[in-house]
């Protein structure tokens, strides 16, 4: 999910969207605190690549 997706859900007041976005924001905080290993497999690699975190947290 992208920031645009999050904004879209919030704009439309979608309860499910808010729940998903809240869960993802919580997960993002974990990633920031513990590194990409907080998520499993390909998601961690993709997140690390997108955010340039691979240099900070070697897989």
**Residue partners of 10: CB distance under 8 A and separation at least 6:** 17, 18, 21
For residue range 1-58, what is the model confidence (pLDDT) as tens digits?
Answer: 677 777 776 666 667 767 777 888 888 887 777 765 545 555 555 555 565 545 555 5
Q: What is the value of pTM for the model shown? A: 0.32
Instruction: Parse the chain into domains and list their residue ranges.
Output: 3-51
The whole-number pLDDT of residue 5 equals 75
The whole-number pLDDT of residue 51 equals 57
């Amino acid at each position: 999910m992208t920031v645009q997706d999050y904004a879209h859900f919030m704009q439309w007041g979608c309860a499910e969207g808010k729940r998903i976005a809240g869960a993802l924001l919580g997960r993002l905080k974990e990633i920031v605190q513990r590194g990409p290993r907080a998520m499993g497999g390909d998601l961690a690699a993709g997140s690390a690549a997108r955010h340039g975190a691979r240099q900070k947290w070697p897989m």
